[in-house]
Structure 1
Amino acid sequence: MPLEELARRLYPPSVPHTIEVPDWRVQDLLQRASQLYPDHDALIFYQARWNYQQLWSDAQRFARALQDRGLAVGERVAIMLPNSPQYVIAYFGILLAGGIVTQINPLLVERELREILQDSGSRMLLTLDALLPRAANIRSDTALQVVIGVSFQGKVAHDNVEDFGAVLASALAPSPQEAPTKAGDAAVLQYTGGTTGRSKGAILTHRNLVANVVQLRAFGEYHEGEERILGVIPLFHVYGMTVVMNLAVYLGASMILLPRFEVTEVFAAIRDHQVTMWPGVPTMYVALLQVPSLTQKDVQSIRFCNSGSAPMPASLIRQFEERTGAALLEGYGLTETSPVTHANPSWGVRKAGTVGLSVPSTEFRIVDAASGQDVPLGTAGELWIRGPQVMQGYWQNPDETAKTLVDGGWLRTGDIASCDEEGYVSIVDRLKDLIIASGYNVYPREVEDVLYNHPDVLEAVVVGAPDPYRGETVRAVVVPKPNRTLTQEDLKEYLAANLAAYKRPTIIELRSELPKSAVGKILRRVIRDEPVGKDQQSS
């Protein structure tokens, strides 16, 4: 029996085994919401509000402004913004104009930003005023012709940069020329790391993204037109994009947006806006539990929280539910699957320590990674996924695409999982050496490549280390070149200039040698499994 059939036997009558994916583009979700819920709050950002009709109008006007600046169908436009109304307007505006959204994490340093802009060929960029110097320093190395700045304090005044508000007002018409895009066309380039450590862009089509919100709606228990979703998970992350923004628009829900996670702001948002859903990551829930005064009264409006991006310890789930009274539903997904494939149900048994059941129209296998053959039930193997939410491939990267998408449309996740007799899946380990720190993916090879570029570094290996707050943290073990004076402070300063903060090792150890095999290969697993050394520095 296919494994997904085990899960489907537990579905209540209200949950279909499969879904019909409408032939919509992502922007059609917003148009639909503007027709069904025109006066309903779409965005709440501190004291500012947009209803769905206003959001649709602004998205159309921004689309036209991009077309006035020469945006052609299929061109990439990069967004490097924190959660904000401007982000949502730009996202849907780009799609309405026929463009492809390139998602960029605002924490990236110049080297990382340059790589993504060069790979995507993005000709336009929207970013925060504070980040404009970073963009200016690498602009000549990229195809950028139009840079649009966003300020939360007023207008942007920088050379060769247009202010977002001025761009919106400059549109030559209130709506764009109709773009001939189809459901099967690319909508988003969502960058993720590769086996080489260099970022690669997962091509998520309109159909992929629409399918995933339809799957979530079919699997979950939502009240259309009534939900109030807390949007503190970054929208530039695939999890925030789908589970906060796109799902909210599909449901006609209100998004309460916060640009960063601050416990006091989260408390205020939940209380003031009576939040009903809070998608988050384990570190957020850990931080909330550290507040001594936390009671159920503080979060009584929340029906459930969705936890993703990193494993959630079973003990933390129990503690959170006891303190808050809200159900915490752990799920699973990947950038390459738009992202959700599995979730613990709100309507059934929630098994702590598992990522739950497959959502409708999602097939999965657990196979022997070497042979590709299915393993017996309960046995660990590599998790493979097939469904309408699986990406088209990697942008201009056929080699990585061929490694990940195999015959029959199956996606190799690289994660080791097991499935019990009821269809609940547990993530056991990772084939890849990916580190997940505070919900962010950190690829050891990328960090190692930066370390090896330091003139005084001979050898380096990077692994994950347990961290009670971040889940995992980044640990680097470095061998200096002979007769060189290299300190941990030297490395910290160097890494700060070359890596985003979440990628930087918080534990740095200096050694005279690294463990190796008989053929001289560095034994990463030995480093990973040993206790953290005494000669280290944490930050």
Structure 2
Amino acid sequence: MPSISSARPWLKQYPEEIPESIQYEKKTLPEYLKEGAEEEPNKELLHFMGKTMTFGEVYKAACAFAAGLQKLGVHKGDRVAIMLANTPQSVISYYGTLLAGGVVVQTNPLYVERELEHQLIDSEAKVMICLDLVYPKVQAVQKKSKLEHVVVTKIKDYLPFVKGLIYPFIQKKNTGIDPDISYGNTTHNFQSFLRNAPKMPTPVEVAPDKDLALLQYTGGTTGAAKGVMLTHLNLVANTTQCSQWMYNMKQGEEVILCALPFFHVYGMTVGMNYSVMERSKMVILPKFDTTQTLKAIQSQKVTIFPGAPTMYVGLIHDENVNKYDLSSIKVCISGSAPLPLEVQQRFEQLTGGKLSEGFGLTEASPVTHFNLMWGKRPPGSIGLPWPDTDVVVWNAEAEEEADPGEVGELLIRGPQVMQGYWKRPEETASALQNGWLYTGDMGYMDEEGYFYIVDRKKDMIIAGGFNIYPREIEEVLYEHEAVKEAVAMGIPDPYRGETVKAYIVVKEGQKVTEKELDQYCRSQLASYKIPRKYEFREELPKTMVGKVLRRALQEEEKEKEKERQKSG
């Protein structure tokens, strides 16, 4: 079994401000919100489209939400699903669930019914909080799950008065959706739910290092999303590591742009939890839009901007970017996909701040590596392991640690690593062995301790920062009556990093068009998973036993890309 090499060469690259090891506070996540509310109740915690809320106001609402959940019968360990865009309600319901002793199940509002049904059934969530826009989907799958109550909220609920009056008309115009919701014994209005709840919840004893805070669903090689079990300490540790890494940031003085979705563990950790633990203001955007983002940076004097490469690409190519003052930005944390060097350089020129790239995975809360903010940043590197994070590049064939420069699978251990997969002991045993997390990512370490990712052992596609699993797309395509065979894979895309391409073999005597497949997939998959390109073939390359040679298709795409580059 692997053991850490003697030197841990990456530690030699640490500046004196970054500790090799950290003493983590054994606190639950809501304890940080409570302390902020008690010590600085009038300090602004969040800004949302003109609406502001203080630590005291958010904590008061979270307490009422927790008490309301307990009134509905939520006990310690019960799962509570949150299906919200970035809003004050998402912060309130997240910390409120944890105050009640519940376990948060973050749910992507873009999910279609099939995806939502799987997550609710698997997690056995008892209560869900959702936007009115997605309530019809929730209602459609509720009877198939153990969901007992649904709390419905609207974007306008936390908008300033005038915006709140106008927003419903804008929403209906943009979405065409105006849900008619009948509230009753099992369906509750969010604002009424808070008003009618007791002011304080019944205290629940929670062990930060043992009790779960979060079930964060992620895909896998099987295509079925599985719940990653993260404790309070896992999340506290990763947020603390983030704080130590950004040692020049001043507690209580920073302004964090929260455009990354909180339902993604990356946005949750480096956006929401970091803001609460560091007592800094979060500027919340319900979705990423270049104009709104530029306006928010300028008006709110944003200093920290966690994002994905697609966000930075979008901003640097906005035709009006030079009209905005972005000089307040000090640090940008890029993750979820590789960051092109030219994007990094251009964004740093525009802002005067630092844009560095890191690496992580849901199973690690999520961050494991990061480039220095104020130090050496080798092009193409994912950086150095964070404090208390050990990493081995494992040569499975030789059953030994790989030499510097030699490619192998990244194995990770640290306080941020998950407890396992929810109700999946076999997959947990495969991923966690003797304290090491087998990431499935192939990479290498150089002589100085900087790490590089070269390939993915799994066939996961990363498009626009979202993890997409080919098997899930293939299963949907196979259900189409005209499809005989289907393979999905990622191909290079200048904006999204990768995009999904599907190879299709049509059944004899059947006909289907690209447009028809696109419409079909849109009814079965979230928008970011839908293939952007289709290629129809008479047959697919296969092994002697009939397994599709995905690698052969990938090599074809590489050759096509080379030819495109040659032709200009």
Which TM-score tier does this pair reach, normalised by the shorter chain? over 0.9
Q: Does residue 1:126 correspond to 2:136, yes or no?
A: no
User: Which residue in the other structure is 1:158 paired with?
Assistant: 181
Is 1:514 equivalent to 2:540 in the alignment? Answer: yes
**What is the one-letter code of the residue matched to 1:51?**
T
Distance 2:155 2:312 in 1: 28
Instruction: Find 2:101's aligned residue among 98, 102, 108.
Output: 98
1:299 equivalent to 2:331? Answer no
Q: Please report how far the alpha carbon of residue 157 of structure 1 lies from its aligned counterpart in structure 2 after TM superposition.
A: 6.0
Deviation at 1:2, TM superposition (A): 3.0
CA distance in 1, matches of 2:502, 2:376: 40
AA aligned to 1:14 is E
Q: Is the 8 A contact 2:217 2:228 kept in 1?
A: yes
CA contact (8 A) 1:76 1:121 kept: yes
Return 5+ residue gaps in structure 1 as ranges.
535-539
2:241 paired with 1:215: yes
- Return the match for 2:336 from 286, 309, 324: 309
Q: Which residue of 2 aligns with 1:135?
A: 138
**In the TM superposition, what is the alpha-carbon distance from 1:123 to its structure 2 partner?**
1.1
- Give, in angstroms, the shift of residue 296 of structure 1: 9.2
- Cα 1:487–1:533 shift into 2, 3 Å: farther
Residue deviations 1:433-457 (CA, integer Å, cap 9, x gap): 1000000000001101111111211
Deviations 1:454-485 (A, max 9, x none): 12111111110111111100000010111111
Aligned residue number for residue 509 of structure 2: 483
Cross-structure match for 2:265: 238
Q: Within 1, Cα distance between the matches of 2:558 and 2:395?
A: 32
User: In 2, are the aligned partners of 1:296 and 1:323 still within 8 Å (CA)?
Assistant: no
Structure-2 residue corresponding to 1:376 = 403
Query: Does 1:439 find its partner at 2:462?
Result: no
Residues 70-107 of structure 1: CA deviation (Å, up to 9, x unaligned):
11110000000000000000000000000000011111
CA spacing shift, 1:135–1:334, aligned 2, 3 Å: same
> In the alignment, which residue of structure 2 is the partner of 1:327?
354
Counting only pairs closer than 5 Å after superposition, residues 122-521 of structure 1 correspond to structure 2 as 122-153=125-156, 158-159=181-182, 160-172=186-198, 174-183=199-208, 184-221=210-247, 222-295=249-322, 298-407=325-434, 409-521=435-547
Structure 2 SS opposite 1:153? helix
User: Runs of 5+ in structure 2 lacking a partner?
Assistant: 158-163, 165-178, 561-568
Q: What CA distance in whole angstroms lies between the structure 2 residues aligned with 1:529 and 1:249?
A: 46
CA distances 1:486-524 after superposition (whole Å, capped 9, x unpaired): 221221111111100000100011111111122222110
For residues 202 and 308 of structure 2, the distance between their equivalents in structure 1, rounded to whole angstroms, comes to 39
8 Å contact kept, 2:9–2:449:
yes
Say which of 68, 85, 102 aligns to 1:82.
85
Of 2, 7, 17, the residue aligned with 2:10 is 7
Contact 2:30 2:99 in 1 (8 A): yes
Q: In 2 relative to 1, CA 341–132 (structure 1 residues): closer, same or farther, beyond 3 Å?
A: same
Give SS of 1:331's match: strand
CA 418–279 in structure 1, closer or farther in 2 if over 3 Å, else same? same
Q: Give 1:529 shift.
A: 2.0
2:192 match: secondary structure: helix
- In the alignment, which of 26, 30, 37 is matched to residue 27 of structure 1? 30
Q: How many residues align?
A: 532
User: Does the 8 Å CA contact 1:3/1:364 hold for their aligned counterparts?
Assistant: no
Equivalent-residue separation in structure 1 for 2:141 and 2:228 (angstroms): 23
Q: Tell me the CA shift for residue 533 of structure 1.
A: 11
**RMSD of aligned Cα (Å):** 1.7
Residues 1:44 and 2:47 are matched in the alignment: yes
* Alpha-carbon distance in structure 1 between the residues aligned to 2:265 and 2:112: 20
Q: Identity across aligned pairs (percent)? A: 45
Report the TM-score, using the length of structure 2 for normalisation.
0.91
AA of the residue aligned to 1:352: P
Tell me, in whole angstroms, the C-alpha distance in 1 between the residues paired with 2:222 and 2:356: 33
* CA separation of 1:532 and 1:330: change in aligned 2, threshold 3 A: closer
CA distance in 2, matches of 1:297, 1:501: 31
* Distance change in 2, residues 1:370/1:120 (3 Å): farther
Q: 1:471 to 1:391 in 2, by over 3 A?
A: same
CA distance in 2, matches of 1:4, 1:70: 52
CA displacement at 1:35 relative to structure 2: 3.1
TM-score calculated relative to the size of structure 1? 0.96
> Contact conserved, 2:87 with 2:155, CA < 8 A, in 1?
no
Determine the C-alpha separation between the residues in 2 that align with 1:204 and 1:531.
38
Alpha-carbon contact 1:464-1:474 (below 8 Å) kept: yes
The Cα of 1:23 is off from its aligned counterpart by 1.1
Greater mean deviation of Cα atoms: 303-312 or 210-219: 210-219
Cross-structure match for 2:174: none
